Amino acid sequence: MRRLLAWLPLLGLVGCLMPTGFGTGVANDDNGTSGPIITAATGKNASLPTRADEFLTFLKERQYSAYPHDEALHVGSGPHGVAGVRRFYQPKLAASLQQQSLEHPVGAGAVLELFAANGTTRLGWAASVKLDSLSDGGSNWLWLEALDGAEATLVEAGEGLGLCTNCHASGDDYVLGTAL
């Protein structure tokens, strides 16, 4: 816990991360089958991982870099209120936001890159992916936050994390972002 708290000022978080353990997720795809979704983030139908350990590798390798994203950094808000944030939307989420959908499809998700004040040093990531067609109070979303560095480290990961769902509940289907 002390190690986690030592990182909060560096990330610019407002002190609201509380460890709840790590989770794994299984998603139902559009065909009704279930299992971990692990593909490279290239192409229009690229999927986000749905297991925390695989998501960390996905982030470290920047497999999301081909997703629609902000060209420039912007100031984050809430616990992501670091000096600079860049949003990457999984293509399903990008399309859903463009259509102003109130509910997003299974597999929709986002990656936020969190940057230091210099605008070039990536401090870490916040990410989410929808695991089921019904959000069920946010419990069917996988949420995670990770620190970058020589060894990328998961800070928080799991399904329906209270910190994440409480903040994101005000968004459309637990997404606070707007179309790019």
What type of residue sits at position 149?
Answer: G
| 71: Cβ contacts below 8 Å, ≥ 6 apart | none
Range of the domain at 125: 2-168
User: Is 176 within a domain?
Assistant: no
User: Is 126 within a domain?
Assistant: yes
Please report which confidence band the pLDDT of residue 74 belongs to, taking 50, 70 and 90 as the band edges: confident
User: Is 104 within a domain?
Assistant: yes
Which of 74-78, 89-93, 115-119: highest mean pLDDT? 89-93
User: How wide is the angle at C-alpha 54 spanned by C-alphas 14 and 24, nearest 5°?
Assistant: 70
Higher-scoring residue by pLDDT: 176, 80: 176
Higher-scoring residue by pLDDT: 105, 14: 105
| 133: Cβ contacts below 8 Å, ≥ 6 apart | 28, 103, 105, 106
Q: How many domains does the chain have?
A: 1
User: Is 127 within a domain?
Assistant: yes
User: Is 173 within a domain?
Assistant: no
Please report which confidence band the pLDDT of residue 111 belongs to, taking 50, 70 and 90 as the band edges: very high
Cα distance between residue 47 and residue 56, in whole Å: 14
pLDDT for position 50: 87
pLDDT for position 163: 86
**pTM of the full structure:** 0.74
